[in-house]
Amino acid sequence: MTTSHDLPTLARRTVLAGGLAAGAAALAAAPARATPPAVAVPRQAPATSGPLPLVAPLAAEPDRTAFEPQEQRYAAYLVTLAAMANDIDDSDTELRGYQAGGWWRTPSEPFNARISEHVATFAWFLTADRGWNPYRGDAALAGRLDAAIDYYLRLQHDDGSWQEFSAEERSRAATAFALGYLSKTLALLRDADLLPERRDAISSALHRAMTWFLDPANDGVWTGEIVEFANQPAAGLAGSAKALALDPDPALSRLLWDRVRHYAERAQSPAGFLYEPRGMDIAYNLNVTLTEFHELHTELKVPVLLPVVRRLADWLTYTVVPEPDGAGLVSFASGAARTPMYVLDAVTLDRQQRDLGSVFSRLVPDLGAFYPAREDRDAQRAAWAASSDPIEPLAPGDTNPRIPANIPFGEGFPSRRRRDVALRTLPAVRRERFTELRTDPLDQHYLFVRRPAHYVQAFFGTRPNGVVRAGLGLLWHPRAGTFVHGGQNSNTECWATVLPNGGTDGASNLAATYYDGPVSDGRVVAPDDAARVRGDLGVAWTTTGGNVAGSVLLHDAGLVREITTAAGGVEQVPLVLRADDVVTWASGDGAAVGAPSSAHTSGIAVRRGDVTLTIDWEVDADATLTPTERTYFADASRRAHMLRVPLGAAARIAYAFA
């Protein structure tokens, strides 16, 4: 198959429409709460004045055993809370309530509304009934929270939007996340019957924000034929759903469901990923968007985006490979359009935003590969509780408010058995022969090729932005793991041809043609038919300016790259090496892992256990092997090393496994 769609578009929309319509009817039938009265929220003068008492630091080190395992993630916020709250400005100026100290988001400027998102964190500690939480009902914290909320609301534009990067910006992201954090804050304050005047102001501000955000004509949010930066509209939809659960409004509810339908149809590429901004991004899809989907489902009480999640999970399974020693997953970093996720450890640190998405692994088993096994997380938490070490406070900038906000929504880590099954069913593991070409209408081609000795990931076509590196991105062996792994947003760490000016063909769009067999004499196949090629697959490409023409033949035992350049080029290969790898130049000289090495020779071999990758460039050249700062996994058990071979205007490089 050339895409992840098994249903035609109409049928897919029909499936979505059934769940959406049922949920919309239920929400619209909810009793309407009186529309909150308009509250003047000035953007200049603060609502209160006078010095605010300081929040007292903890009197003693928290007892680790007092925390429920799932709530251990609150501990780092608990020991940081006083310092954060005491950095709230209490001057009698326009800055009163501003969260100073650089605790969250940049730019750390008074106009950036996203800095204020910790109001939800403060509200949780102010209202949470936990034996280990001395800040419940704390008057000093309440006063500083009140000022912080007032400042947050005074930043809101008259049209309902907030800003992030400049004072006059109408920011989709700042408004989307404000809807989430402020609606959570409102719910907590209502339940505790605290700050009644501020609650009314929040309610009014949320109404204005939803009116702006859910407007189908707002092209700053609903960006044409596709929904860009998919995590942000998802956050706005989830926040709106919570706000409407608190203050029902039939007109806004109808708009919400209309936008959910629109999102389901336009935010996901036919290839399966959710657009970030106009390409794929594994990290944002996993870390942010899936968590927002779960929150949306919780508030609507209908899993309206489950079909979207299933297609996303199918896509994600092609983008990762497991390391055979169980260290974790290596992912398609060079093709990422925002934040490259080079690896995903088998057992991550517990303070993760991503982990809320684990709830979907119950209904979408493929996602089990992307989260720790429940037994491993339980053991990790038991060790944390047993430790006598002081709880480390969080550093400014490393206080993501989404982590504590996610905790009440639960988690769903797969059992070790289910996680192992998910790993075994990853396409690269389960099958030894396939060609999968996922295409997007924006001329993006994501190529995944499995042959008995290897798995290759590659990107061709039009790059969605300048950080993506086109061409080959990963070479993996089923018994020995990853040998080559290209970097993103760098001409010095991608798998590419480097030109004399330092540019690479990876930094260009690459117009590709696919062949059943070698490029020289194979049959041209249309992208939609590439999946039918089960033998040797040829791919030829040219850069936009025509200064590099390349091709690759993917065969059962490896691959062969052929490159022609106008001014000479260097074959650049990002090798991933383990400390126990044996690296030997074709001249017979050894190369130490972790140290620079060079040789005038025609090839290099990397032996890992009983598997050897040989790279043969056929003619003697002055090759270098240079370790980089990029390491893999928490134990840094692997390190990227750049192999560079100057090969002139034309070259043939064979990569073969034995």
User: Do 9 and 55 share a domain, yes or no?
Assistant: no
Residues sharing a CB contact under 8 Å with residue 5, sequence separation 6 or more, in sequence order: 12, 270, 311
- Could you tell me if residue 280 is inside a domain? yes
The whole-number average pLDDT for the span 233-237 is 98
Q: What is the pLDDT of residue 45?
A: 82
Work out the widest C-alpha separation in the chain, in whole angstroms: 82
The whole-number average pLDDT for the span 294-308 is 98
End position of a domain, from candidates 381, 399, 430: 430
User: Do 422 and 512 share a domain, yes or no?
Assistant: no
User: What is the distance between the alpha carbons of residues 340 and 152, in angstroms, rounded to a whole number?
Assistant: 31
The whole-number average pLDDT for the span 229-246 is 98
Does residue 384 contact residue 72 with C-beta atoms inside 8 Å? yes
User: Do 203 and 317 share a domain, yes or no?
Assistant: no
Shortest CA distance to 80 belongs to which of 405, 408, 380, 390? 390
Q: Token match 């060790």: residue?
A: 383
User: Do 421 and 451 share a domain, yes or no?
Assistant: no
Q: Token match 């509200």: residue?
A: 123
- Could you tell me if residue 569 is inside a domain? yes
The encoded tokens of residue 79 equal 């020991």
Residues sharing a CB contact under 8 Å with residue 559, sequence separation 6 or more, in sequence order: 454, 456, 472, 475, 552, 553, 654, 655
pTM of the complete model: 0.93
User: Do 565 and 622 share a domain, yes or no?
Assistant: yes
Centroid of chain to Cα 551: 31
User: What is the DSSP track for 194-236?
Assistant: --HHHHHHHHHHHHHHHHHHT-TT-TTTS-TTS-SSTHHHHHH
Q: How many CA within 13 A on the CB side of residue 550?
A: 29
- Could you tell me if residue 567 is inside a domain? yes
Question: For 217-234, how does the pLDDT look when each residue is reduced to its tens digit (9 = 90+)?
Answer: 999 999 999 999 999 999
User: For 480, which DSSP code?
Assistant: T
- Could you tell me if residue 180 is inside a domain? yes
Q: Determine the angle formed by the axes of helices 172-192 and 139-154, rounding to 10 degrees.
A: 150
End position of a domain, from candidates 213, 237, 272: 213
Does residue 117 contact residue 111 with C-beta atoms inside 8 Å? no
User: For 268, which DSSP code?
Assistant: B
Question: For 90-109, how does the pLDDT look when each residue is reduced to its tens digit (9 = 90+)?
Answer: 999 999 999 999 999 999 99
User: What is the distance between the alpha carbons of residues 523 and 537, in angstroms, rounded to a whole number?
Assistant: 10
Does residue 78 contact residue 62 with C-beta atoms inside 8 Å? yes
User: Do 267 and 171 share a domain, yes or no?
Assistant: no
Does residue 48 contact residue 96 with C-beta atoms inside 8 Å? yes
Question: For 510-521, how does the pLDDT look when each residue is reduced to its tens digit (9 = 90+)?
Answer: 999 999 999 999
Q: How many residues does the chain have?
A: 658
Structural domain containing residue 300? 1-31+220-373+413-430
Number of domains in the chain: 3
User: For 162, which DSSP code?
Assistant: B
User: Do 422 and 465 share a domain, yes or no?
Assistant: no
The whole-number average pLDDT for the span 317-343 is 97
Shortest CA distance to 19 belongs to which of 292, 260, 359? 260
- Computed on alpha carbons and rounded to an integer, the radius of gyration of the chain in Å comes to 27
**DSSP bridge pairs for 653:** 561
Phi, psi of 197 (to 5 degrees): -65, -40
Question: For 448-478, how does the pLDDT look when each residue is reduced to its tens digit (9 = 90+)?
Answer: 999 999 999 999 999 999 999 999 999 999 9
Shortest CA distance to 510 belongs to which of 575, 461, 579? 461
Shortest CA distance to 248 belongs to which of 209, 215, 213, 207? 207
pLDDT higher than 80, residue 12:
no
Q: What is the pLDDT of residue 44?
A: 63
Report the SS3 class of residue 46: coil
Question: For 526-548, how does the pLDDT look when each residue is reduced to its tens digit (9 = 90+)?
Answer: 999 999 999 999 999 999 999 99
pLDDT higher than 70, residue 315:
yes
User: Do 267 and 164 share a domain, yes or no?
Assistant: no
End position of a domain, from candidates 178, 213, 248: 213
User: What is the DSSP track for 275-293?
Assistant: PSSSS--HHHIIIIIHHHH
- Could you tell me if residue 597 is inside a domain? yes
The encoded tokens of residue 255 equal 């708009």
- Could you tell me if residue 37 is inside a domain? no
- Could you tell me if residue 391 is inside a domain? no
CA-to-CA dists, residue 245 to 88, 192, 203, 293, 326, angstroms:
30, 17, 12, 16, 43
Question: For 405-432, how does the pLDDT look when each residue is reduced to its tens digit (9 = 90+)?
Answer: 999 999 999 999 999 999 999 999 999 9
User: What is the distance between the alpha carbons of residues 359 and 412, in angstroms, rounded to a whole number?
Assistant: 4
Confidence of residue 43 (pLDDT cuts 50, 70, 90): low
Question: For 593-623, how does the pLDDT look when each residue is reduced to its tens digit (9 = 90+)?
Answer: 999 999 999 999 999 999 999 999 999 999 9
User: Do 207 and 282 share a domain, yes or no?
Assistant: no
User: Do 470 and 610 share a domain, yes or no?
Assistant: yes
Q: How many CA within 13 A on the CB side of residue 460?
A: 23
CATH number of the domain at 508, please.
2.70.98
User: What is the distance between the alpha carbons of residues 591 and 390, in angstroms, rounded to a whole number?
Assistant: 44
User: Do 22 and 52 share a domain, yes or no?
Assistant: no
- Could you tell me if residue 543 is inside a domain? yes
User: Do 116 and 163 share a domain, yes or no?
Assistant: yes
